Structure formats: structure tokens, C-alpha cells
Amino acid sequence: MSRTLVKDALNATAAMDAVLLQGWVRTRRDAKAFSFIELNDGSCLKGIQVIANATLANYTTEIAKAHTGASIEVRGKLVPSQGQGQKWEVIAETFTVVGEADATYPLQKKGHTLEFLREIAHLRPRSNLFGAVFRVRSRLAYAVHQFFQQKGFVYVHAPIITASDCEGAGELFRVTTLDPSHPPMTEEGDVDFKKDFFAKKAYLTVSGQLEAETFACALSNVYTFGPTFRAENSNTSRHAAEFWMIEPEMAFCDLQGDMDLAEEFVKHLIRDAKEHCAADLEFFSKFVDKDLLTRLDFVLERPFQRCSYTEAIAIIAASGKTWEHPVQWGDNLQSEHERFLAEEHFKCPVTVYNYPRTLKPFYMRVNEDGKTVRAMDLLVPGIGEIIGGSQREERLDVLRENMAQHKLSEKEYWWYLDLRRYGTVPHAGFGLGFERMLMFVTGVGNIRDVIPFARTPGTAEF
């Protein structure tokens, strides 16, 4: 007999004479002549009730071992439930404990803090909250591919190990095979990276963008979706050292087209989650964020607002609010400013565009004023920035000038400059932080709780 998943049993249209269920015990209640066991296998939020009669041959020995957390196998009949709140239950004909769990099992039936659950990240997927989070994560990853594939984009696997720093921020993890206690040295007394594995300095990637640009300049519309890394010593609820990024890149596309695609993409992901993860979203709206479903609907139903960086600075200045980080033209917008724009001023997602040239990386297209670049950030209520993108600088002379200003070596980026020498085209793209999108869709407030095993400063457990 093949296994039936709990979600399929709960959605059955008719009773079944024979089912095989396998999963873990959530709760057990014993009566005189039978026991009620809630079995959950992770396929959905709800468990299914199993009734084990005392007439079972091994009832006494097996039921005594079926503590919370134990894994069990049940064969029996799927019948209409006599209890309230459930359509089906299972009458066990055989009941076997596959793996025992004693009283030290940390996920007993009581409330647990998120901080405690992070300490047992190997077990937290068995909890209601994290089962729901990671089912939504799985579905949204599928929806990402679905969105781009339906639009004819080509999926490109960008390298994890790179010799270039896309953002120019310098917050990179070094990849090396050199002995840290006795590295080879040059005559000048520096570490000799020519003796390293790649014969040069190498890092974990901060972005697949530059590589995606090379493919966009051949295949037109491409996207990458993979892990990226930032060695930023930041302990906020929105930052992680390892996170996943979705980065589309489009040839023959300008900033307007870039903003249009970003808005369409965000709405597609929300719509997909609402359609395919309804029970999990309902759970989040009940226990995590009471306003979640209202906010998601709000975002779906309205066009996103757009304003230039210059307009945003004027709005912030005119707000009359006292800021922890006062801001003027030429300064980076902080999280408090981004959230004010999305949550209080516009009261919906807003795309801020045309940022000061001095704030942005070398690859962004310079506007005619010479002071701003065709950059855009999409800000959403509750999170702040969720997408950052730009039209790329396709003019060789301006790109070289930008690189000189950022003190970047043309020799190291020779291949990137070649894209502007051989058939250059206007092109644009953006990066969406997958975890931030998950935070927005689930209402979960900390990035550590939407990624299976968080990598943050001082933490690389599991």
C-alpha cells in the first residue's frame, strides 16, 4: 500500500477502506477503551486524528511509547469524523511506533519563543509556525520560476565564488585554501594570493547581477535565483550573512520597464501565496500579524506609487517628524524613512527612483543632470526596501568614468567593459531579497525565522 499524505486524507472526497499514514505525534489523549492521537506529517498545517482502540493486539505496548514527537505508522480506515472541526479521521487497524521520543523532546504542547526555537533549528520545522513558513517558502520559490518562465526568461546559474565585488561595498567573505597561520608571502611582505587555489583573491558572491548582464546581452531576458553573501556585521531583524536573491536582467529595457516588472512580480508572488497557501496565511493572520491578509489584499488591489528621491526627501522634510537619523539630499534613506513613506505617507508600496549618483554603485546609468542615476528601490509597508534595481550604464565612456570614481580596476572588469564595446544595449534589472519577500507575505518579523538555518554574525549553527 502506498502512503497517503495527511493533506490528501483531509481533502478526500470519500471514505477509504485502507490508508497508510506516516508522521509524528503531536498530541495523545487516552480514554479507557481507546486513544486519540493527532498525527502530522508536515504536508499541511493540520494534523489528522487517529483513533486506536484498546482491542489492537499491541495497544498496551505501542500506545505507551507514542509520546509527543515520536514517529508512527498507521494503517486503517478513513471515516467521517464524529468530532467537531474535522471532516475525516482514521480508525487504526495497525499502529506502530517507528521512532520513540521521550520527555526531553523540546517541542511539547505549549508556547515557545522564537528565540528558543532558533536554538533548536533542527526541530523547529515540526512546529506549526515553522512548518507553515517553510511550506510558503517552497511555494514562493516555485512561483518565482513560474513567473519568469511564463514570460520567456532564461534561468541562469550565477557562480557562488567570484573575483569581483558587484556592489563595491567591500563586505565580502574570502574564499581561500591558504593556511591562515602560515600563508605564502611575497617579497614585499604581503600574502601571495597567486599561490591560492584560484591564483587570485576570491570571494563568496554578493550578487549574480554582473554575470546576469552578460547573459542578458546574449539571451535578452534572464534571471538568477540563488544564495548571496554579505560579511556585514549587522544584527538587525532584516539582515543575514547568507540570503537568497532573485535577479532578473532585461536587454533593451529602461528604468520604466524595470519598475513595471518589479511591481508585477511582487503582485504575482502575493497572489500565488494567497491561492496556494491559504491555510498557512490564515494561521499567520491569526497568530503572527492580525493585519496580514488585509495588507496583502491592499497591495494587490492598488497600483504602487512612484516618487523621485528628490521628492521623497522633500516629503520627509515636510513631515514635521523627529528622526533618529535626520536626512537631507545626498544622504541614504534609512529604514525609518522608507517605512514612513510606505506606511504613513503613501500608505502603500512606493517605488523611489533617481537617486544621487554618489550613493549608488558604478554600474547604474547616469542621468542627464550628471547628479542622479536611474536607480529604483521598491519599499513596502512593514519591511521597507524589498527590491533594489536600476537601468545599467551602457555607455563605455561613462562606465569607465564611474569605475575611476569608485577606484575600480578596469583590468579586473575587462569582460564587463567588453559588453559595452561589442553591441552594447540599454538594459535594466533588479534584485529582490527572497527572505524579505517572505517576511512581507507571512508577517514574520525577523529574517532569522524565514530561512531554514540563519547565518548571522556569531551564528553558524547546524
The secondary structure of 22-63, three-state, reads: EEEEEEEEECCCEEEEEEECCCCCCCEEEEEECCCCCHHHHH
Closest CA to 133 of 454, 457, 439, 455: 439
Q: Are 410 and 400 in contact (CB under 8 A)?
A: yes
Which has the higher per-residue pLDDT, 164 or 35? 35
Four-point Cα dihedral 195, 198, 204, 206, nearest 10: 110
pLDDT at residue 428, as a whole number? 98
pLDDT at residue 1, as a whole number? 86
pLDDT at residue 82, as a whole number? 84
What is the DSSP pairing of strand 71-80 with strand 16-30? antiparallel
Closest CA to 323 of 313, 142, 144, 63: 313
Q: Are 379 and 338 in contact (CB under 8 A)?
A: yes
pLDDT at residue 166, as a whole number? 56
pLDDT at residue 165, as a whole number? 61
Mean pLDDT of the region 408-434: 95
For 272-310, write each residue's pLDDT tens digit.
Answer: 999 999 999 999 999 999 999 999 998 899 889 999 999
The rounded distance, in Å, linking the Cα atoms of 3 and 189 is 64
Residue 111's pLDDT band, with cuts at 50, 70 and 90, is: confident
Q: Are 76 and 91 in contact (CB under 8 A)?
A: yes
Mean pLDDT of the region 83-94: 91
For 309-358, write each residue's pLDDT tens digit.
Answer: 999 999 999 999 999 999 999 999 998 999 999 999 999 899 999 999 99
State percent of the chain over pLDDT 90: 88
pTM for the complete prediction?
0.94
Mean pLDDT of the region 94-119: 93
For 227-241, write each residue's pLDDT tens digit.
Answer: 999 998 888 887 899
Residue 121 grid cell: 533549528
Q: How far is CA 338 from the centre of its chain?
A: 20
**Residue listed under C-alpha cell 554575470:** 211
Mean pLDDT of the region 69-73: 97
DSSP three-state, residue 266: helix
Closest CA to 377 of 263, 238, 237: 263
The rounded distance, in Å, linking the Cα atoms of 413 and 404 is 12
Q: How far is CA 243 from the centre of its chain?
A: 7
Residue 164's pLDDT band, with cuts at 50, 70 and 90, is: confident
DSSP string, 200-247: S-EEE-S-SHHHHHHHHHHHSEEEEEEEEE------STT--SEEEEEE
pLDDT at residue 163, as a whole number? 85
Q: For the chain, how are helix, strand and coil distributed in percent, rounded to 5?
A: 35, 25, 40
pLDDT at residue 232, as a whole number? 85
DSSP three-state, residue 146: helix
The rounded distance, in Å, linking the Cα atoms of 411 and 49 is 66
**Residue listed under C-alpha cell 529582490:** 432
Beta carbons within 8 Å of 74's beta carbon, 6+ residues apart:
20, 21, 22, 37, 39, 50, 52, 90, 92, 94, 95, 96
**What mean pLDDT is reported for the chain?**
94
> Best-predicted range by mean pLDDT among 82-91, 164-173, 313-322?
313-322
Mean pLDDT of the region 383-393: 93
**Residue listed under C-alpha cell 525577523:** 446
The rounded distance, in Å, linking the Cα atoms of 260 and 253 is 11
What is the DSSP pairing of strand 154-155 with strand 48-53? unpaired
Closest CA to 420 of 409, 406, 410: 410
pLDDT at residue 169, as a whole number? 55
**Half-sphere exposure of 3 toward its Cβ, with a 13 Å CA cutoff?**
10
pLDDT at residue 239, as a whole number? 84
The secondary element (H helix, E strand) that includes residue 265 is helix 255-276
Closest CA to 397 of 366, 372, 361: 366
Residue 86's pLDDT band, with cuts at 50, 70 and 90, is: confident
The rounded distance, in Å, linking the Cα atoms of 236 and 265 is 26
Mean pLDDT of the region 245-270: 97
For 2-61, write each residue's pLDDT tens digit.
Answer: 999 999 999 999 999 999 999 999 999 999 999 999 999 999 999 999 999 999 999 999
Q: Are 37 and 18 in contact (CB under 8 A)?
A: no
Residue 153 grid cell: 526568461
